[in-house]
Amino acid sequence: MCGTERSSHSIACLSNGSRANLPVIDLDPGNPAVFEEYWRRMGDKCRVDIPGCDLMSYKAPTGNVCWFLLPELEEAIRRLHRAVGNAVVDERHLVVGTGSTQVFQAALYALSTPASHKPIHVVSAAPYYSSYPEETDFLCSRLYKWGGDAKEYDAEKSGAFIEVVNSPNNPDGCMRQSVVNASQGKLIHDFAYYWPQFTPINSPADHDLMYFTFSKCTGHAGSRIGWALVKDREVAVKMTKYIELNTLGVSKDSQFRTAKIIKLLCNDYQKIGLNSSNNFFEYGNRVMAKRWKNLRDVIGRSDVFSLPTFERQYCCFLGRPSRPYPAFAWLKCKEEIEDCGSFLRGYNIEGRHGKRFGADAKYLRISMLSSDDVFYDFLDRLSAIQTFQQ
């Protein structure tokens, strides 16, 4: 942490007008810049090299349901899940998408019924990922429709539904299970954050339709690679059809690069084991642990904010107990402040407003994944605000 004390005093003394001139600290998006330093250190080992005549076809040389999935990517992803132990991959079809955003929409398409007279409701327990409602509704499809908080959903009255279970959950980091107690529901498990840097891995997830993303696994968000593990062949076929009609496949350049980076990650793990900061997940876990400790130290001295707390659990991958270190801090303002977003905006700190997650305005989602500079500037300014409030 850089210069907290000095800045605390100077910000605490500022007038409202002067605070508005502070540089904006934007912690709204979840861009995973935190992991860039690791890949910089890896240097040429994870450089990819693509000749001009390679990867030119729409198709992949595969007999797969997902006809555009590169075989080397499939092999790398299956190997990664086996190494990490976070998902069952045997007897699962693998469908690749342009980020988990596209995979989620492919899943909605695959689980809905065109012949049905009414759109199927898509629900998720609040606080839910802010993009689910918009991604579900923006095309005003007659196949599916956002149905709101899963905890409020009355399946008896409202009929068939898809429940999205995000575990650990964005924004609050909690581990989750489905909440709607009804047989006519279908489940989608969003495991974007079920990796050892963010949460203890307790067992391989084993559900009908689970999806993951390279963006949050290693931090390579720019590659736009997500994937689903799908038990039912027909669902995998329909998801593939969605991606065919939507984008005629998925970037081969990104698939190739993702395969190479995941392979490197698995090789390093097999060769050097965990007891080295050269292991990506060990490195990521330490970095996230340090950030959470620093944030909790600042919040602990505060009368203004609080954070969720998490129990220590055994992580099967790390082989030791670990706490969850979520990708986002679900910051809550105390009684006297109605709107956490507006309050922090007064100090030019941007987060994502609680209401966007189906929650109260007292909450604000703060990214824990920014670059070091941005994150420690944030802690710096947050310390100062607390001093000011007191």
CB 234, min distance to a copy of itself, A: 16
Q: Does residue number 373 form part of the binding site for a copy of itself (CB under 8 A)? A: no
Q: Does residue number 365 form part of the binding site for a copy of itself (CB under 8 A)? A: no
Please answer whether residues 334 and 304 qualify as being in contact, where contact means their C-beta atoms are separated by less than 8 angstroms.
yes
Q: Please count the other Cβ atoms lying within 10 Å of the Cβ belonging to residue 309.
A: 8
Q: Is 148 left (phi over 0), alpha (psi -120 to 50) or beta?
A: left
Q: Does residue number 372 form part of the binding site for a copy of itself (CB under 8 A)? A: no
Q: Does residue number 247 form part of the binding site for a copy of itself (CB under 8 A)? A: yes
Report the alpha-carbon distance of residue 93 to residue 240 in Å, rounded: 11
DSSP class of residue 205 equals B
Q: For residues 35, 36, 39 and 41, what is the CA-based torsion angle, rounded to 10 degrees?
A: -110
Query: Which one of residues 4, 8, 64, 98 is an interface residue with a copy of itself (CB under 8 A)?
Result: 98
Expressed in angstroms, the distance from the first to the final Cα of the chain is 22
CB nearer to a copy of itself: give 41 or 334: 41
Q: Does residue number 130 form part of the binding site for a copy of itself (CB under 8 A)? A: no
Taking CB under 8 A as the criterion, which residues in 138-157 touch a copy of itself? 138-143
Hey, what are 119's tokens?
A: 């759109």
Q: Does residue number 47 form part of the binding site for a copy of itself (CB under 8 A)? A: yes
Q: Does residue number 33 form part of the binding site for a copy of itself (CB under 8 A)? A: yes
Q: Does residue number 224 form part of the binding site for a copy of itself (CB under 8 A)? A: yes
| Phi, psi for residue 353 in degrees, rounded to 5 | -60, 135
Q: Does residue number 350 form part of the binding site for a copy of itself (CB under 8 A)? A: no
CB 45, min distance to a copy of itself, A: 7
Query: Which one of residues 109, 161, 227, 363 is an interface residue with a copy of itself (CB under 8 A)?
Result: 109
Please answer whether residues 213 and 77 qualify as being in contact, where contact means their C-beta atoms are separated by less than 8 angstroms.
no
Q: Does residue number 361 form part of the binding site for a copy of itself (CB under 8 A)? A: no
Query: Which one of residues 21, 114, 181, 336 is an interface residue with a copy of itself (CB under 8 A)?
Result: 114
Among the listed ranges 32-40, 87-95, 292-300, 320-328, the one in contact with a copy of itself (CB under 8 A) is: 32-40
Burial class (CB in 10 A: 0-12, 13-18, 19+), 125: buried
Size of the site for a copy of itself (CB under 8 A): 63
Q: Is 203 left (phi over 0), alpha (psi -120 to 50) or beta?
A: beta
Amino acid identity for residue 372 in this structure: D
Report the alpha-carbon distance of residue 24 to residue 33 in Å, rounded: 17
Give the residues lining the site for a copy of itself (CB under 8 A): 29, 31-33, 35-37, 39-40, 42-53, 55-59, 98-99, 101-102, 105, 109, 114, 131, 134-135, 138-143, 215, 219-224, 242, 245-254, 257, 261, 264
